[in-house]
Amino acid sequence: MTDKVLLTKVDNIGIVTLNSPPVNALSQEIRQGLLDAFSKAESDDSLKVIILMGADRTFSAGADIGEFGKSSLEPVLPMVCQTIESTSKPVIAAITGVALGGGFELAMASHYRIATNSTKVGLPEVHLGLIPGAGGTQRLPRIVGPKLSLEMITSGKPIKAKKALAEGLIDQVIEDTDSLKEEAIAFAHTLIKENQGPRRSSERKEHIEKQGNDKEIFINFKNSLQKTARGLYSPFKAVDAIKTAFTLPFDEGIKKERDIFLECMNSAQSKGLVHAFFSERKCTKFPEAMNENGPARDLSTLGVVGGGTMGSGITVAALDAGIKVTMIERDQESIEKGKHNVTKVYKRHIEKGRMTEEQVNKVLEKYKPSTDFDDLKDVDMVIEAVFEELEVKQEVFKTLDKIVKPGAVMASNTSYLNIDKIAAVTSRPEDVLGLHFFSPANIMKLLEIVIPTKVKADVVNTGLTLAKKMRKVPVRAGNCDGFIGNRILSKYGKVVAYMMEDGASPYEIDKAIFKFGLPMGIFQMFDLAGLDIGWANRKRQAATRDPRERYVHILDLLCEKGHYGQKTGRGFYIYQEGSRRGEEDPEVLTLIDEERKRKGITTRSFSEEEIMNRYIAAMVNESCNVLHEGMASRPSDIDITLLYGYGFPRYRGGPMKYADQVGLPKILDDIKKYYEEDSFFWNPSPLLVELVEKGQTFESLNK
């Protein structure tokens, strides 16, 4: 027997312990060890009850991620669960920490369940495009009925021990984690004393008999999923699997579950979601931060220059992370607005019941609004979040250079500007970093960490430390105009403008993008962000714009009318007072028609397929250029950027993963076809050409 599964005895009770900390992942070695341990315990006549528990304060977080994407290794988990459930002696799952996925399926295959108060249990497989595959869709409904089963399995959200107890999913909750083993032994002695045998989930019929013919539950639930799980595959398949628990005998339901599980596992969506899962872990590996002699600098105090939307969002994110924040604004009126922006977030938390007034007051004790730059002299890091103009930011950094202590990290929250030009106005460019937060900064998880030429490794590590404290997903970005995300956006933003000018309405384009799986169309997104932001950027770039580039004036014309989007009530859409849902604007269509006539454009129609083919081709081609120039470390970092910052559907894995699935030759063929129309814009990336010639994929570059 492996040392990763231990079988010990306490009197006439066998204790099987998963001994593979920190999460007791259910690797092939663990699964085999469980079979061996239960076989040995079953054949030992001196044992009357078996307790299953995890070492190191965790029961099991589920599958071993090292086995994802590989062929199933024997013994498979359904076999292990069946062995546990078939045991002739009562089996108690003693749960602490988490029991998730396959770990929770082990617990449900056990006959009784006790847990510590802090325990969470759940079946998160849908997050990987899967359904539970070891009996979860068959045992859970037999224990708690259809409603909770549907909610837990299709959302993937865990529930706390107290709720599990109330629902009959757990038999006893223990307040003291340290006494779990003793309480489990006491529970075992009670079973022996009362002559209680196994209570198999597969044989429980009370919920099956009560709700077996109620088909409306499943129909109504699927209807509700159309909103909450739009575009997803596995939640709907999970409903089908759960339904079989009420229509088929257990053994047949298990077979059906396995068929559906394998269907999901082989789907493009599951492959996309698994890719996103691993990409999220890979993106924290920065080549500049690999220097072992460059640990992170101290980071307990933060300065934020600017109290607008970005500055206040960064401040809230830092306060939520337990960091002391000094916010600086240029005058009293501005700092009062900044203070209002911060406190209104916490007032909303109180109104929504997320925090108490006492908790908010404790957080705000760490917040100091000020108009005096000298108040930043002792902070460990300062983040500038002022207006997006190079000269303005350079003036701020000249001031910071004179004030902040030696060794403090100075960072700019810029969306486009050259960090080297900002660092150059200081006497310590090695301490300057780019930190591109996404708005609202206290909610959006993406953080582009921009690497300027002279930055030190420990400064990069400090940026990563900040991301970790704020629970952000960090992506390394090279120092170029727009970095990764906005640089790519500028390209597919242009292609939708070209299609709009050539005959597709902005509303047709938005509908195609929404149907593809993004949360909103690109013109809706422009309205949300503010059309004036892009306008300012286009004006900044006007002097260096190549005369060969096609330029669409429609967005500028809207801005000249003062139609900046949601904040002015009009952009591409009309927004009624207090509404964020826009209505199509006939005046916009008239303006577009007039501009087409002025340019003498012969319009044509675009199908949804062609809209998306051009949209994706522009996105992928520029992504290749970003990679080719070393502005992104790997294709999966681009996927993470577009997933977390720009709403690309997670189940597609990101644009690079999606391109691999579509086929890079197909993408390149499309670009070559469009090249005949516009050889300047549709110039194929050298990297894309090289990969197609070598028969390689983007995945081959993910290291």
User: And the tokens for 349?
Assistant: 């938390």
Q: Determine the distance from the C-alpha atom of residue 541 to the mean position of all C-alpha atoms in its chain, rounded to a whole number.
A: 33
Place of tokens 């339901």: 253
Nearest to 126 by CA among 275, 280, 273: 273
The type of residue at 49 is: V
Give me the catalytic one of 42, 67, 105, 280. 105
For the four alpha carbons of 576, 577, 582 and 588, in that order, the dihedral sign comes to: positive
Alpha-carbon span 645 to 448, nearest angstrom: 9
φ, ψ dihedrals at 630, nearest 5°: 75, 15
For the four alpha carbons of 423, 428, 433 and 439, in that order, the dihedral sign comes to: negative
Alpha-carbon span 556 to 627, nearest angstrom: 31
DSSP code per residue over 316-364: HHHHHTT-EEEEE-SSHHHHHHHHHHHHHHHHHHHHTTSS-HHHHHHHH
605 sits in the region (left: phi over 0; alpha: psi -120 to 50; else beta) called beta
φ, ψ dihedrals at 207, nearest 5°: -75, -35
470 with 447: CB under 8 angstroms? yes
Q: How many residues does the chain have?
A: 703
Alpha-carbon span 425 to 402, nearest angstrom: 11
Q: Where are the beta strands (DSSP E) in 23-157?
A: 49-54, 91-95, 98-100, 112-116, 120-122
- Is-catalytic flag, 105? yes
User: And the tokens for 411?
Assistant: 């960072």
Omega prior to 586 cis, within 30 of 0: no
Q: Determine the distance from the C-alpha atom of residue 516 to the mean position of all C-alpha atoms in its chain, rounded to a whole number.
A: 18
Task: Give how far Cα 53 sits from Cα of 97, 269, 596, Å.
Answer: 11, 34, 70
Task: Give how far Cα 360 sits from Cα of 318, 357, 374, 539, 558, Å.
Answer: 14, 5, 27, 42, 41
Give me the catalytic one of 85, 125, 329, 448. 125
Place of tokens 């890979």: 282
Q: For residue 62, how many other CB atoms are within 10 A of its CB?
A: 26
322 sits in the region (left: phi over 0; alpha: psi -120 to 50; else beta) called left
3-state class of 558 per DSSP?
A: helix
398 with 425: CB under 8 angstroms? yes
- Is-catalytic flag, 167? no
The type of residue at 575 is: Y
Alpha-carbon span 415 to 488, nearest angstrom: 12
List, by residue number, the catalytic residues.
105, 125
